């Protein structure tokens, strides 16, 4: 997966474990697309300090994921739910009437779970 995508997902999971400064700089760099120079001016710190803080925060996010595996578990849950939905759809196609309606209810429930996670 591309580094940008990985860091943004990990940020969603672990942002509360970062310092306020790290969280702010990462959010502005990745989500608001501000350059190192813009961040440097905005926070009145050197570009090197911005760069170092962002790199340190990225390292922390990766370290947290290595230890806690929350994002990996999330991905596995999503894959399982998608497989369940696919199997339900397959079964639904072979059934008729009330049985098909029952399977459609299960599919709707699985969709709800996917959206909640």
Tens of pLDDT, residue by residue, the chain (117 residues): 699 999 999 999 999 999 999 999 999 999 999 999 999 999 999 999 999 999 999 999 999 999 999 999 999 988 988 888 888 778 777 777 777 777 788 888 888 877 776
How big is the chain, counted in residues?
117
Asked if 60 and 95 sit in the same domain, the reply is no
Asked if 17 and 53 sit in the same domain, the reply is yes
Which DSSP string do the residues of 26-83 spell out, in sequence order?
A: HIIIIIS---HHHHHHHHTS-HHHHHHHHHHHHHHHHHHHHHH-HHHHHHHHHHHHHH
User: What residue numbers bound the domain in which 30 lies?
Assistant: 3-68
Distance CA 32, CA 52 (A): 19
Asked if 59 and 14 sit in the same domain, the reply is yes
Asked if 13 and 57 sit in the same domain, the reply is yes
Asked if 114 and 86 count as a contact pair (C-beta separation under 8 A), the reply is: no
Asked if 37 and 93 sit in the same domain, the reply is no
Asked if 49 and 81 sit in the same domain, the reply is no
In the chain, the number of structural domains is: 2
Asked if 54 and 93 sit in the same domain, the reply is no
How many Cα atoms occupy the beta-carbon half-sphere of 103 within 13 Å? 17
Could you tell me the CATH number of the domain that includes residue 49?
Answer: 1.10.10.10
Asked if 53 and 79 sit in the same domain, the reply is no
Using only C-alpha atoms, the chain has a radius of gyration, in whole angstroms, of 21
How many Cα atoms occupy the beta-carbon half-sphere of 11 within 13 Å? 21
């Amino acid at each position: 997966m591309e580094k940008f995508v990985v860091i943004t997902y990990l940020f969603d999971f672990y942002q509360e474990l970062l310092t306020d400064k790290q969280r702010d700089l990462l959010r502005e760099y990745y989500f608001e697309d501000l350059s190192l120079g813009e961040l440097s001016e905005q926070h009145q710190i050197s570009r090197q300090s911005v760069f170092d803080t962002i790199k340190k925060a990225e390292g922390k996010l990766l370290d947290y994921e290595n230890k806690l595996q929350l994002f990996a578990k999330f991905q596995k849950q999503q894959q399982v739910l998608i497989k369940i939905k696919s199997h339900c759809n397959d079964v639904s196609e072979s059934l008729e009437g009330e049985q098909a309606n029952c399977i459609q209810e299960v599919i709707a429930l699985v969709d709800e779970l996917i959206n909640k996670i």
